[in-house]
Amino acid sequence: MSRIIVITSGKGGVGKSTVTANLGMAIARLGHTVALVDADFGLRNLDLLLGLENRVVYTALEVLAGQCRLEQALVKDKRQEGVVLLPAAQSRSKESVSPDQMKKLVGALTQKYDYVVIDSPAGIEMGFQNAIAAAQEALIVTTPEIAAVRDADRVVGLLEAQGIKRIHLIVNRLKPGMVQAEQMMSVQDVQELLAIPLIGVVPDDERVIVSSNRGEPLVLAENISLPAMAINNIARRLDGEKVPFLDLMADYDSFLNRIRRLFRG
Amino acid sequence: MTSDSAQQIQVPIDPPSDSVSDSIVDSQIQVRLKSEGERLLLILPPEAETPGAASWFDLWQQLKHRLNAGERFWQAQTTVRLMAQDRLLDGQKLQAIADALTEVQLQLLQVYTSRRQTAVAAAAAGYSVEQQPPTCSLNQTPKEPAELLAEPLYLQITVRSGVEIRHPGTIVILGDLNPGGEVVAAGDIFVWGRLRGVAHAGANGNRNCRIMALQMEPTQLRIANAVARAPGTPPSQFYPEVAYVTPEGIRIARATDFSKTHLSLNS
């Protein structure tokens, strides 16, 4: 029984596509087959982040129009076995696909892949509706910012209305130093508001930007970084394993800080 | 073959199968502008051939792009005949088209349509209307002989991400083709600028077509059913180059070498 997971956020720029690309790779490294679906028609990015842009020949739109077979449109990743990408069309608008068509596409993918991971566009309009149409579970990506959390809250409501019950939270781009100094919302603050189970916290890291620009997902890098470790843990938790959360605050939890906190009460 | 002193591109990934509709360009024809004597024809793609996908919004964007890209090619106050075919246009849409034309100093005068509603709307707006009886035969559009290419399309624009230009003939772009942009031609493609997106020449299957660019850094090149990607490491220096098909796949040669070795022998 394959799982269909949509990755969404409401707000743009919080790292949906980056999380999708890396999580897809991480799941595949656990030995599963994964189909990544870019549902961001008109503003596709997932192929870029995966470094597969120049290998896209057909897109989901051509499959739906019957101009090619589904297998022809799927782009295999040469670096990680078991991962394929179904690219979105770049030249069309979000209205060019209907939720029913999306269900059909994803349904066909579940025949062959253990995981179907859908990268949703920002917003809550047609593109979002398409992305969540076929999903059974959802991962909400948010940054510890008030606007992102507010949008995430709205999206959780929409997902629940759609009947998607399994919703997990990923807090992205956390800066432990700033949290320590109480300049940034903490994971607890975010969770308190959203009240959905946490599945992972990804720390902010400049290497993420470098890897995105190069089209080489961070989890594939030889020397593993903290964000990559966090993503790998998310993949294992998705898979049902119990993995303790990384202690991101460790570096900042000095004796002095502890005393300061004590006095602040 | 000495012409390949320039770098060679990697050969086909997965040549698209023949199941792809053989007339990839005709089936998705876009808005066209064509001069006919003293006037200009604005030809909209028939609704029957572009179901759903080409909504009014898409059509509208295409029209604006085309008008902005070809501005230099017509005299001010040239009259325009709108070939609306079987498109349903209400007064609002007609007005929008007329306004877009006025912006580039063109004047909508006549409307040619096979839809009664469109004819009524056009007449109400004061255009001279010619209504063509709807053809009842299954073979709706009288097909031009397939081998015949349309006249070249000359565009002065930057083809940006998300823009797709299709034309059943040769396409000349004066400007850049950006990554994410796509140009599909039944004939050759010339890019007088940087080619960084996807270019597909000979899209109806003509393997003799070529792609030429001042600076060739494509995401992907396609000629007929051959596909090639750019090499992993971009060259340090750029020359005007020509991409063409050999039995081994798509090759690229420096334009100066290409004209010596290829143009004198073939064609």
Give the alpha-carbon dihedral of A121, A92, A209, A149, to 10 degrees: -20
Q: Give yes or no: residues B101 and B68 share one domain.
A: yes
pLDDT at B50: 53
Q: CATH number of the domain that B207 lies in?
A: 2.160.20.70
Is B62 part of any domain? yes
Which residue segment(s) compose the domain that B169 sits in?
3-17+146-263
Is residue B4's pLDDT more than 50?
A: no
Q: b/e for B144-178, b at 16 or more Cβ within 10 A?
A: eeeeebbeebebebbbeebbbbbbbebbbbebbbb
Q: Give yes or no: residues B79 and B185 share one domain.
A: no
Is B10 part of any domain? yes
Q: B125, B91 in Cβ contact below 8 A? A: yes
Is B223 part of any domain? yes
> Which tokens belong to B31?
């808005």
pLDDT at B262: 77
DSSP-assigned letter for residue A120? P
Q: What is the mean pLDDT of residues B83-111?
A: 89
Q: Give yes or no: residues B238 and B153 share one domain.
A: yes
Is B141 part of any domain? no
Q: Which of A12-21, B7-16, B205-214 bottoms out in mean pLDDT, i.e. has the lowest?
A: B7-16
Instruction: Specify burial of residue A85 (Cβ count, 10 A radius: 0-12, 13-18, 19+).
Output: buried
Which of A57, A72, A75 is the best substitution to test chain B (most B C-beta atoms within 10 A)?
Answer: A57
pLDDT at A101: 94
Is B164 part of any domain? yes
Is residue B212's pLDDT more than 90?
A: yes
- Total domains in chain B come to 2
Beta strand pairing status for B189-195 and B220-223?
unpaired
Q: Give yes or no: residues B193 and B252 share one domain.
A: yes
pLDDT at A150: 94
Is residue A250's pLDDT more than 80?
A: no
pLDDT at A172: 97
Give dist(CA A104, CA A60) in Å, integer.
Answer: 11
Is residue B15's pLDDT more than 50?
A: no
Spatial CB neighbours of A101, under 8 Å, sequence gap ≥ 6: A64
User: Is residue A56 helix, strand or coil?
Assistant: coil
Q: Which of A192-201, B8-17, B173-182, B232-241 bottoms out in mean pLDDT, i.e. has the lowest?
A: B8-17
Is B24 part of any domain? no
Give dist(CA A218, CA A28) in Å, integer.
Answer: 14
Is B139 part of any domain? no
Q: Give yes or no: residues B156 and B72 share one domain.
A: no
Is residue B220's pLDDT more than 70?
A: yes
Q: Give yes or no: residues B114 and B185 share one domain.
A: no
User: Is residue B201 helix, strand or coil?
Assistant: strand
Nearest to A67 among B21, B57, B218 (CB): B21
Is residue A184's pLDDT more than 70?
A: yes
Give dist(CA B255, CA B253) in Å, integer.
Answer: 6
- SS3 readout for B109-177: EEEEECCHHHHHHHHHCCCEEEECCCCCCCCCCCCCCCCCCEEEEEECCCECCCCEEEECEEEEEECCE
Q: CATH number of the domain that B70 lies in?
A: 3.30.70.260
Give the alpha-carbon dihedral of A245, A250, A256, A261, to 10 degrees: -20
pLDDT tens figures, A86-127: 999 988 777 788 999 999 999 999 999 999 999 999 999 999
Percent of chain A whose predicted confidence (pLDDT) is above 90: 83
Q: Give yes or no: residues B167 and B242 share one domain.
A: yes
Give dist(CA B178, CA A53) in Å, integer.
Answer: 13
B29 versus A185: which is more confidently predicted? A185
> Which tokens belong to B175?
């400007």
DSSP-assigned letter for residue A98? -
Q: Give yes or no: residues B122 and B186 share one domain.
A: no
Cα–Cα separations (whole angstroms), residue A211 to A43, A49, A228, B72: 20, 8, 11, 44
Q: What is the pTM of this model?
A: 0.79
pLDDT at B134: 58
Q: Residue for token digits 């009240």?
A: A195
Which amino acid is residue A68, in one-letter code?
C
Q: What is the mean pLDDT of residues B220-229?
A: 94
pLDDT tens figures, A121-163: 999 999 999 999 999 999 999 999 999 999 999 999 999 999 9
Percent of chain B whose predicted confidence (pLDDT) is above 90: 36
Question: pLDDT-based confidence at A216, cuts 50/70/90?
Answer: very high
A261 versus A98: which is more confidently predicted? A98
Q: Give yes or no: residues B155 and B245 share one domain.
A: yes
Q: Chain B: residue nearest A58 by CA?
A: B16
Beta strand pairing status for B241-246 and B220-223?
unpaired
Q: Which of A46-55, A122-131, B53-62, B125-134 bottoms out in mean pLDDT, i.e. has the lowest?
A: B53-62
Q: What is the mean pLDDT of residues A176-192?
A: 92
Q: What is the mean pLDDT of residues A243-249?
A: 89
Give dist(CA B117, CA B122) in Å, integer.
Answer: 9
Is B111 part of any domain? yes
Give dist(CA B56, CA B53) in Å, integer.
Answer: 9
Which of A91, A98, A100, A214 is the best substitution to test chain B (most B C-beta atoms within 10 A)?
Answer: A91
Give dist(CA B118, CA B86) in Å, integer.
Answer: 9
Q: Give yes or no: residues B175 and B210 share one domain.
A: yes
pLDDT at B148: 65
Q: How close does chain A come to B101, measured CA to CA in Å?
A: 24
Beta-carbon contacts below 8 Å between A and B = 53
Collect contacts of B120-128 with beta carbons under 8 A, ≥24 apart. B121/B89, B121/B90, B121/B91, B121/B94, B122/B84, B122/B89, B122/B94, B124/B91, B125/B91, B125/B94, B125/B95, B125/B98, B127/B82, B127/B94
Hey, what domains does chain A have and what are their CATH numbers?
A: 3-264 (3.40.50.300)
Q: What is the mean pLDDT of residues A204-215?
A: 94
ipTM, interface predicted TM-score of the complex: 0.77
Tell me the average pLDDT of chain B: 80
- Give ∠ CA A75-A16-A215 in degrees, rounded to 5: 45
Is residue B18's pLDDT more than 70?
A: no
Measured between beta carbons, the chain A residues lying within 8 angstroms of B19 are 68-69
pLDDT at B267: 47
Give dist(CA A240, CA A229) in Å, integer.
Answer: 17
Inter-chain residue contact B162 with A43, CB threshold 8 Å:
yes
Q: What is the mean pLDDT of residues A66-89?
A: 94
A60 versus B134: which is more confidently predicted? A60
| Residue A222: other Cβ atoms inside 10 A | 4
Inter-chain residue contact B220 with A72, CB threshold 8 Å:
no
pLDDT tens figures, B112-171: 888 888 989 998 888 988 887 655 445 444 444 445 678 889 999 999 998 889 998 999
Nearest to B58 among A65, A90, A93 (CB): A93
pLDDT at B184: 95
The listed range with the strongest mean pLDDT (A94-98, B72-76, B146-150, B194-198) is: B194-198
Q: Give yes or no: residues B181 and B224 share one domain.
A: yes
Nearest partner of B222 among B240, B246, B202, judged by Cα: B202
pLDDT at B115: 87
Question: pLDDT-based confidence at B6, cuts 50/70/90?
Answer: very low
Which of A61, A76, A90, A213 is the best substitution to test chain B (most B C-beta atoms within 10 A)?
Answer: A90
Q: What is the mean pLDDT of residues B5-31?
A: 48
Measured between beta carbons, the chain A residues lying within 8 angstroms of B18 are none
Q: Give yes or no: residues B66 and B171 share one domain.
A: no
